[in-house]
Amino acid sequence: MREFPSLLQSFLIDYLPKRRGFSAHTIASYRDAFVLLLKWMDSGEGVPPDKVTMANLDPDHIGRFSDWLREERHCAASTSNARIAAIRSFAKFVQAEAPEHIEICRRILQIPSVKTPTTEEVEFLSVRAVQLVVGAASDDLRDVTIVSLLYDSGARVSEVCGMAVGDLTLSRPHTAKVLGKGRKARVIPLSSQVGEMLSRYITSVRPHAAPTDPLFVNRSGNPLGRAGVAYVLQKSVTVAHSANPEDVPSKAHPHIMRHSKAMHLLEAGVNLIYIRDFLGHESVTTTEIYARASTEAKRRAIESAEQNIVPHSPYGKEQRADLIAWLRDLL
């Protein structure tokens, strides 16, 4: 009988990359789900990683794991659901590979997702806050380039980490090619300011980099990962917050730059369809969260509707006052 460690190894090393063709970043996300699960099993249930069996993955355990993610790690419902989805995917794999575990797999596949709030709050920075965060990173060319690119491209942190030097077009118009979810490539337009910054960065910091080399590396010369990008951003946010606590929050994650770019595009009047394509969303329904969250967009829509529906009054201010007084006299 094949047990959990062997099945998990086959799932991550063979099934996901070779049979499903998933990207390294997607596989890393699945791996992280099981790292957290094993960590919780050890600390919360007293089951060391090497003692975990398929039987430990019953709905009761997975339900408590989901609660732990939200209550102890303060994960959003969507993040908790993504972790549970990884476990369900593993269960589908085990059903085919080890039918002796088919009953526990059937129960895992019936675990429901956590209900997400009907109106999800979008966390984003103001234009001034973004300027302050970028300014706080200006002493380091690599760091300011990372922070600026995160915002200007609106790319996911995994997409920024996956960029190679050759993915950039450094002549005008500046663009960046990224590999998004589902290994779908898209080309993102960049501002001339960020395009020139990238050109200076490559010339000064990565002069000998080949087109296939990673765009950003750490101090050891290894590709910069998601944790590294998060560290660079948080370092700048901390400096900006200490100088401007009313404008910049004390903590921020890389995805907030993507949210901020989307909100600023929307509030500048850019059509949702264009924002969807810019962000690489599969459906405009996903992009609509920004429209629901943007009070400025709502204000413009209301004003536009008012202009189209409510006719201009033929009366001046004094005439309107007289008219109201006359109407009152009728009562």
Domains defined for the chain, CATH in brackets: 4-109 (1.10.150), 127-293 (1.10.443.10)
Give catalytic status of residue 258 as yes or no.
yes
Mean pLDDT value of segment 174-201: 92
| Residue in 61, 156, 226, 261 annotated catalytic | 156
**Catalytic residue (one of 181, 206, 235, 300):** 181
Does the active-site annotation cover 61?
A: no
Separation of alpha carbons 113 and 80, rounded Å: 8
pLDDT of amino acid 231:
95
Asked if the model's pLDDT at residue 315 lies above 50, the reply is no
The answer, as to whether pTM is greater than 0.75, is no
| Residue 281 among the catalytic residues | yes
Question: In the predicted model, is pLDDT for residue 48 greater than 60?
Answer: yes
What pLDDT does residue 296 have? 59
Question: Do residues 272 and 291 touch, judged by C-beta distance below 8 A?
Answer: yes
Q: Which residues contact 270 (CB under 8 A, 6 or more apart)?
A: none
156 tagged catalytic: yes
Q: How would you label 313-327 residue by residue, b for 16+ Cβ within 10 Å and e otherwise?
A: eeeeeeeeeeeeeee
Considering the candidates 142, 258, 264, 276, report the single residue annotated as catalytic: 258
Q: Which of 73, 140, 123 is nearest to 253 (CA)?
A: 123
Residue from 31, 235, 255, 300 carrying the catalytic annotation: 255
Question: What confidence category does residue 30 fall into, taking pLDDT thresholds of 50, 70 and 90?
Answer: very high
Active-site residue, selected from the candidate residues 226, 241, 264, 281 = 281
